Amino acid sequence: MQVARIHGSGDLQLHNEPVPTPGPGEALVRVTAVGVCGSDVHWWREGRIGDDRVLEPLVLGHECAGVIEGGERHGEHVAIDPAITCGRCEFCRRGEVNLCAALRFAGHAPHDGALREYIAWPEHCLVPLPPSVTDIEGAMLEPLGVALYSVDLGGVSPGTSVGVFGCGTIGLSVIQLARAAGATRIFATDQPGVPHRLEAARSYGADAFAVSGGDEIAAILEATGGRGVDVAFEAAGDPDAVETAVAAVKPGGQAILIGIPSKDRIAFTASTARRKDLSIRVVHRMKHTYPRAIQLVESGRVDVRSLVTHHYPLAQVVEGYAIAQERSGIKVVIAPV
């Protein structure tokens, strides 16, 4: 089978490898869709995320779906939950599975992910997809889950005002989820060089502004009567977006930081955050979101299909990653088979 492995910064290569043999409790899955996440681009571009580095060739890919091959569930279309938790540590016992002390996560060194034709994965991590949910939508349930967990942390409820700073896949998903949760005013920003992302934000109900030397913050404050938004979501992994989130949120509000910064540092003006007595949460993946995410997609309350702008076969994986890095679309999906 074909497998894409990253060997280091900017070095993504195709290999021919044997089809894996499932171990106890595992099933063989034919991988049909793998989304390219911003974190995948960090691995490819920098060969690392934070203090985790590529020490051996690594298979990326954690936004994934496929079809089970063999066994009692043969032919079943599934989303692949990339997180394999221990179920025994204090965090798992408390239900905080995203903090599992022994977590194995697909595509995060040293654990191989799904950017290959077949993967052997624990059956309990294979989430059945309803007939109306496509494999591509199944792969999109993982980033939707991160957005859903973020909105949960922000406590968005009817009448809430929201700011979303960064209009990639997760930011645009946050906009849709905030609208579904009853937010009445949603503001969004991104760089002027990605007008298609700002237009997508508008199509989902946000007032979207291109970043313009602080003018976008002034516009948000003016639209909210000078008070700022109730909850700010930073979804860009960019220092300026963090600063904007802190500046645009109201006193006593919440800033939810989702993005992964390239330099592994988050900074903001301390006096602004202190005087506002802000609550700041930093998001780590997701927990217990697949059932709700499936319901939201199946019901049509959230549209993840429109976020997918580019499709590539595994043979063109490098081209797909380049498009994701350039941000010339929104979501790139690789089809291994």
Closest CA to 297 of 74, 142, 106, 115: 142
3-class secondary structure, 317: helix
Contact (Cβ atoms closer than 8 angstroms) between residue 107 and residue 114: yes
> What are the residue boundaries of the structural domains of the chain, listed by start?
2-140+304-335, 146-282
* Domain spanning 146-282: CATH superfamily: NAD(P)-binding Rossmann-like Domain (3.40.50.720)
pLDDT given for residue 284 in this prediction = 96
| Residue 50 pLDDT | 85
Burial 78-114 (b: 16+ CB within 10 A, else e): bbbbbbbbeeebebbeeeebbbbeebebbbbbeebbb
Look at residue 133 in the predicted model and tell me its pLDDT. 98
Q: Among 225, 224, 216, which residue's Cα sits nearest to residue 243?
A: 216
Class of domain 2-140+304-335: alpha beta
- pLDDT (0 to 100) of residue 139: 98
Gap between the Cα atoms of 122 and 109, Å rounded: 18
Beta bridge partners of 121: 27
Burial label for 299, CB within 10 Å (0-12, 13-18, 19+), is: exposed
List average pLDDT for each run of 10 residues in the chain, which is 337 residues long.
96 97 98 96 91 94 98 97 97 97 96 98 98 98 98 97 98 98 97 97 97 94 97 96 97 97 90 97 96 97 97 97 95 95
Amino acid (1-letter code) at residue 27: A
